[in-house]
Amino acid sequence: MPTHNSHLPAVRCAQDRTPRISSNDWRCSRCGALLGIHRDGLMHVSFARGHEYLFSYPATATCRHCGTMSQTKGPAR
C-alpha cells in the first residue's frame, strides 16, 4: 500500500492517550481486517483516499479485503 502522509485535520485527537484502543476496533467477522473504530457513540470508518465517515448504530460496511459485509450494533462489551 502506498504511503500517504496526508494528516487530515477533520478528526481531532481522539486517539490521544486513549487506553485499550483495540477494544474499540470493529473488525471483519471473516478475515479480521479493521473496518472502523468505535468512538463517542459513533462508528468511525476510514476509507481509502482519506474519505472518513461517522455512522450511527447499527453501522454496516463492506470489508476491503474479503468483501464480506459486516454490521455492528455498538462497541463490544
Please name every residue paired with 71 in a beta bridge, in sequence order, or none if there are none: 60
Three cell numbers, residue 15: 486517539
Task: Select from 44, 61, 63, 72 the one that contacts Zn ion (CB under 5 A).
Answer: 63
By CB under 5 A, is residue 64 in contact with Zn ion? no
Place of cell 479480521: 32
37 binds Zn ion (CB under 5 A): no
Choose one: 2-10, 15-23, 30-38, 49-57; the region binding Zn ion (CB under 5 A): 30-38
Interacting residues of 65 by C-beta distance below 8 A, sequence separation 6+:
28, 31, 33
In the complex, the residues that contact Zn ion under the rule CB under 5 A are 28, 30-31, 33, 63, 65-66, 68
